[in-house]
Amino acid sequence: MSSGVPFNEVYDGKDDLTRFSILRRSRGSIAALRSFGGREVEQGTRFHYASSETVVLAVLLRAVTGTTLSEYLTGRLWQPMGAEADATWVRSRDGLEIGSGSFNAILRDYGRFGVLLANDGAVGARQVVPKEYLLEATDWHRQPDAFAPRRATPYFGYGYQFWTYPGEKRRFALLGVYGQSIFVDPELKLVMVITAVAKNASVGKESFAMERNAVWRGLIGKYGSW
């Protein structure tokens, strides 16, 4: 999320995300990515959320591993995690998973994933996700200054596909459009999963975001402290 490439993502049906999605359906993922060129700022110097950059990760993973994102995660994450049901991922016409969204799983498996993250990538004695990688991905202190909480955004910071909370304790979240989310506190081994759907893609436009935050802060306050 720091390529410096301009990408307007406001979910109004007229933004760059819409244009990117249309190009991807008609011309494929690579062509759609190439249509967004040029940098406003030097790469790595500014946080700027863009779903297209997650698609880049999906393209790279397939190129490096020679397998699809779904196949890769099935054996390396989903099955070792102990998921009780298959998940689904919508694919584009070129066979690549959407990457930036359109992933579906049952509530309990989202919870299992949150518990895995709360235990620093371990399930029992088995280390499913490398611990050091996960610590780096979710600790804002290990990220560049541009990605720090209250600097990357007015509140959250950003790691490797994780939103990080301000404060000295390591807390983080996975935040989807329309309010779908997983909140994790590794110290308390506390996880909150929300699959409710808000009226707006950006939940800050309504009371949903504040209500969700109040529930999470209430749980933290009950079992620990900020």
Per-residue model confidence as pLDDT tens for the chain (226 residues): 999 999 999 999 999 999 999 999 999 999 999 999 889 999 999 999 999 999 999 999 999 999 999 999 999 999 999 999 999 999 998 999 999 999 999 999 999 999 999 999 999 999 999 999 999 999 999 999 999 999 999 999 999 999 999 999 999 999 999 999 999 999 999 999 999 889 999 998 899 999 999 999 999 999 999 8
Same-domain status, 60 and 1: yes
Q: Which domain holds residue 143?
A: 106-226
Same-domain status, 118 and 222: yes
Three-class SS of residue 191?
A: strand
CA dihedral 18, 52, 68, 113 (to 10 degrees): -100
Residues 226, 213: Cα–Cα separation, whole Å: 13
State the CATH number of the domain containing residue 164.
3.40.710.10
Same-domain status, 195 and 179: yes
* 188 contacts 164 by C-beta, under 8 angstroms: no
Domain's final residue, options 53, 81, 103: 103
Same-domain status, 120 and 214: yes
Domain's final residue, options 87, 103, 119: 103
Same-domain status, 69 and 123: no
Domain count within the chain: 2
Same-domain status, 225 and 119: yes
Q: Residue with structure tokens 């049952």?
A: 106
Same-domain status, 85 and 133: no
Q: What is the pLDDT of residue 177?
A: 93
Same-domain status, 185 and 145: yes
Same-domain status, 71 and 168: no
The separation between the first and the last C-alpha atoms of the chain, rounded to the nearest angstrom, is: 28
Same-domain status, 114 and 68: no
Same-domain status, 84 and 26: yes
Q: Residue with structure tokens 């436009």?
A: 205
Same-domain status, 124 and 225: yes
Q: What is the pLDDT of residue 196?
A: 85
